[in-house]
Amino acid sequence: MINKSSKIGVILAILLEILIIITAIRTASSNPWSYLLFLLWDAISIFIPFIVLKVANSNKIILPSSFLSASIIFIFATLYLGETLKFYSMFWWWDLFLHGIFGVYGVIIGVHLLQGIIEKTKNTTKEKFSKFTLIFAFCFTIAIGTIWEIYEFLADYFFKTDMTNGSLEDTATDLMIKITCAFITCLIYYFSKLKKANNV
């Protein structure tokens, strides 16, 4: 198995599922069905990283060792804390913070994805391969970020949430934050690789 399910990730998933169930029971009588359906979606979403991990292992795709734990925490922070507990309304910076974190971690995932998929040939220099890797990681982050924005729109439409604040400005700002953080992460990665190559 290339990617293993960490014990921390499994424990986190169990604890968060219990917390979501408790929240659903406590608020069942005072909230509309759309709210309870969204809690159900929260609970289902916690398992998505496990599915991704299974698919990655089946196709021999390498993911960061922290993928499971980081993904579960991110989903919990966006769906449960952000929407269910109204962190998006309580803290104006919460949404921007999460999109910035995604911009950074998306690049890390993108870099790992190429390992085991594409091998550096003898005719390719380390610098060229690093540039290609970062271009892929950057584009990967933007693509996943765009899919997430579509997800937020669909959640607002079907579950009557307020993940996009009902405006194009929120979506555009989220994408710009992701792109900026992804670009900075790529620069840091590139220059750190360049520095290591020069020291060899």
| CA 137 – CA 118 distance, rounded (Å) | 13
Give Cα 81 distance to the centre of its chain.
Answer: 15
Q: What's the confidence (pLDDT) of residue 121?
A: 65
* Residue 151 burial (CB count, 10 A): 13
pLDDT at residue 116, as a whole number:
66
Q: What is the pLDDT of residues 4-19, one digit of tens each?
A: 778 888 999 999 989 8
CA angle 183-87-20, nearest 5°? 110
- How far apart are the C-alpha atoms of 143 and 181, rounded to whole Å? 14
Q: What percent of the chain has pLDDT over 90?
A: 38
Q: How much is the average pLDDT of 99-109?
A: 95
Candidate ranges 56-60, 65-69, 119-123, 126-130; pick with highest mean pLDDT: 65-69
pLDDT-derived band at 2 (thresholds 50, 70, 90) equals confident
Top pLDDT among 162 and 25 is at 25
pLDDT digits (tens, 9 = 90+) for 144-176: 999 988 988 887 787 777 777 767 888 899 999
